[in-house]
Chains A and B, each alone.
Chain A
């Protein structure tokens, strides 16, 4: 098998005025992922290459970067699928660069936290001292399931054109999670959640370019969630009225 030409964008802001591309020649093997190629270069060619990774199975979301121009997970991209003998690795757009391929996702996590990404219930006592589960039908569950697959890798937000300029926009990840919790039949915080998104730099700054869904490795389809949420923001009503429903079968049952 021919060797792989691996170009990595190197940049240590504490020392370099601007980024530069450095090429490494890495022995290629069948089924090799881009992460494996990067780690080979780091372990055996230049220990100072900055790359972030952990699970190597697309569960943790650490290794988001731009590979051959598109945001992808390095562990989830095989060299073969890119075609050709060269791989170009750069940090994700729209996040500050800490070093080389490592970006600062601080604001990303902050924006996630700002959409109240958790179940909001009026039965605080039961919620924190549960006696039994809240009942959910399998089909009700399946409506939110794909949005729960989000691994917070940040690819969608780096792909979003609005995020490219608007620093206050929550971004596709946070908005899709706002939908995930608002659409959960157990949730009762939808009204406040959607009100908070109805602002100058809120949900309406999404123009459905769809790049978030295009790059999402886990099938979340954030663009779908965001558009579905827009309808509810427009009407001011969450997808379901949990207060009503909770009185009936969702009320926790007593132990038999």
Chain B
């Protein structure tokens, strides 16, 4: 019909999920929750694959011909360890932030609605949320550093 019909739809699409620029801290947390969730799911599926090598036994005497040693050589190196470090980072963030979300989505810790005063400050975006997101980031970083030290500590 009209020449600009497609552009006129104007729905933000996936950039609405992925680009939180100009918005609030909680929006950034939303993006990371989603992205880390997908990342974790991918890792878990992969992890199912690599653990399945276990049934091949250490030397290929089990039901599978592939061996644990073969798999170990594949992932037990600096690159594999780096992946693990990142997985721990996103796992801890996703878990801690997820607890914040569950608690909040059930209407707890948000504050109670009531008389409001200008300049308006949204109760639902209050200090508890900021602190919880801060905590999620802090725990994730600590866990990451710890994992790094465990995996690379010996070699540094």
Contacts and interface: CB of A to CB of B under 8 A. Distances in A.
A13 B3 contact: yes
Interface in A98-143: 98, 103, 142-143
Contacts of B23: 70, 159, 209, 211, 214
Q: Is the interface of B mostly helix, strand, loop or mixed?
A: loop
Given A16-B4, A143-B113, A161 B122 contact: no
Interface in A11-25: 11-19
A39 B17 CA distance: 33
Contact of B11 (A13, A164, A211, A225): A164
A224 B122 contact: yes
B107 A164 contact: no
Nearest to B28: A209
Interface stretch (A30-38, A47-55, A194-202, A215-223): A215-223
Given A18-B7, A224-B123, A211 B2 contact: no
A160 B12 CA distance: 10
Nearest to B34: A207
A230 B104 CA distance: 10
B10 A161 contact: no
A14 B124 CA distance: 42
A165 interface: yes
Interface in B107-131: 107, 110-116, 118, 120-125, 129
A67 B12 CA distance: 16
B8 interface: yes
A147 interface: yes
A16 B122 contact: no
Interface residues of B, number: 47
A221 B123 CA distance: 7
Contact of B10 (A68, A69, A94, A218): A94
A231 B103 CA distance: 10
Q: Is the interface of A mostly helix, strand, loop or mixed?
A: loop
A223 B125 contact: yes
B63 interface: no
Contacts of B17: 161, 164-165
Nearest to A165: B13
Contacts of A69: 21-22
A11 B9 CA distance: 12
Contacts of B115: 142, 145-146
A184 to B, nearest CB: 12
Contact of A165 (B5, B11, B21): B11
Interface in A140-180: 142-147, 149, 159-161, 163-165, 167
A95 B114 CA distance: 31
B107 A13 contact: no
**Would you list the 5 A-B pairs with minimal beta carbon distance, nearest first?**
A164-B16, A219-B120, A13-B4, A213-B122, A210-B26
Interface of A: 11-19, 68-70, 91, 93-98, 103, 142-147, 149, 159-161, 163-165, 167, 183, 206-211, 213-214, 216, 218-219, 221, 223-225, 227-228, 230-231, 234
Given A13-B5, A209-B30, 20 more contacts: A68-B22, A93-B12, A96-B9, A96-B10, A142-B115, A145-B116, A161-B27, A207-B101, A207-B105, A208-B104, A210-B24, A210-B26, A210-B122, A213-B122, A219-B120, A219-B122, A221-B125, A224-B111, A225-B113, A228-B107
